[in-house]
Structure 1
């Protein structure tokens, strides 16, 4: 699987690309604005000028959601985090931000250079949704307390353990949706289940109802840890999709605490046998269990996450 399409909806709003030549741009509301560099080699300065043109064209206070696409050569240029943070006094209505929404043709996910996203959380205390794509290079986060954030997602071909630990150390009392793409060690995904312990305990996440530990080479180990995790009792959705879950992980899920309270167990893109899949469906008959996209190990027995490079 590759990321080959842009999102058309974000934070419940339709995504519309900002066109400075559109005479109606200044009057559009109720949308998620998409900002992206016009050319692959657009400089950081030119992209910053485009952002400034945007806030001069539209009413910045009316902007509810922003989708930041390619900012030029994203593999060697960090995103405009500082500028976005500096604009917080003007973007007073911003509630949702997607940083790095690119297809593989624009920049492979593991090549996207990110930055310290802590200033965004500090500058926007009312932000409710933060989604970041690309984490191997540059992404950092300092543990923070943020009382408004409801959804945090980090999409990566390999999520560094330091970022997982930082997320785990954050105090996010309103967070309902946490989604971490753990990825492949070959692309920087060196987190272990030990790094997930505070998240699985759920102490700082009292409102959590969706937990996604996705795209994981350590999917079986994650399943075993989740099977006894206190946070699971509060969830309506457990998402272990896009990874390399096998019969061992499926057995661990069934041997642990009851999962019958879940509305949805998402395991799509997996390596579970037909027999184990049938047992999951049978024993969790009241749960929507997604076992689509079954994969086969290659001739060497190797399994692959859905999104890596």
Structure 2
């Protein structure tokens, strides 16, 4: 991944994933000869409305594809994914790990809002995937409901991303307690408490210290209502000195958070600072940009707080919640 990527929670990865074109399971011969197993990212999904079942598509995949050559898989929707857990799919993939020795990239939950809003997607414990695939280099998960992760040591993982409207604190702590010596890109969409995003700044403390992330180059702590507090923590975080790109985007960052960020350690070594979707004033936007002349600073998507006419309460919204 590059820092130019702005992953969308609505992307179903029907055209491509991990640098490969996508092939849908089961393959339709009307589209021509079935592609060579390692030349595509295989996408498996089952629609509730047409009676499809993801287990049957997994059966077809393992029966008709030379899975020993497969390097990338996209798991899309499964039947009733807004009520039914992803656990059976996780278990099947973990059990079949011996038949997927070359798997390097996995996106789990490429589901758009027409099938299930991001916070409705019923995930499960994904720890078995990391345990079963020690050579996996890229794991991305969409949906936080029911999501769990226990601390692991994984020697190969380079990219770990969670797209959620509410990332459980248990998962954040699981990431923070994991030993990930090869991880280069970590992205956490923390979300809001209403949808399970119950982590605090202390939960990301081990991540910010960076002791278990020796080669991390991109850190994203995003989509949060505590974006100002996160910015203040990042301002003194040891890991920042070795980052190339930093994202505090998609949340409710205000001038207070940006002031804390500018008052902390130097950020001029960064290649890019992503703050898109924010609540900064025009003056602060200029300050941040001018303070980092050699850094590509993204302060697009300036939002305006809403004020309740009855009680004067101010409302600010993250980019992705429900």
Establish whether TM, by shorter chain, passes 0.5.
yes
**CA RMSD, aligned part only?**
1.6
CA deviation profile, 1:210-262 (whole Å, cap 9, x unmatched):
00001111100000000000000010000111111110111011000000000
Distance between the aligned counterparts of 2:229 and 2:294, measured in 1? 25
The Cα of 1:168 is off from its aligned counterpart by: 0.3
SS, match of residue 307 in structure 2: coil
In structure 1, the partner of 2:113 is 104
Secondary structure of the 1:306 match is: coil
Map 1:282-301 to 2 at 5 A.
Answer: 282-300=290-308, 301=314
Assess if the C-alpha contact under 8 Å between 2:168 and 2:197 holds in 1.
yes
Q: How does 1:47-196 map to 2 (within 5 A)?
A: 47-79=54-86, 80-135=89-144, 137-196=145-204
Residue 12 of structure 2 is matched in structure 1 by 6
Q: CA deviation at 1:28?
A: 5.0
Q: Distance in 1 between matches of 2:135 and 2:305?
A: 45
Q: Tell me by how many angstroms 1:173 deviates.
A: 0.4
Superposition TM-score, scaled by structure 1 size: 0.95
Count of residues in correspondence between the two structures:
306
Residue by residue, what CA displacement relative to the aligned partner does 1:116-158 show, whole Å, maximum 9, x if unpaired?
Answer: 11110111000000000111x2111111100000010111101
Runs of 4+ more than 4 Å apart: none
**Distance (Å, rounded) in 2 between the aligned partners of 1:72 and 1:41:** 9
Partners of 1:40 and 1:163 lie apart in 2 by: 31
- Given candidates 205, 208, 228, the residue that maps to 2:213 is 205
TM-score (norm 2): 0.91
Inter-partner Cα distance in structure 2 for 1:92 and 1:113: 27
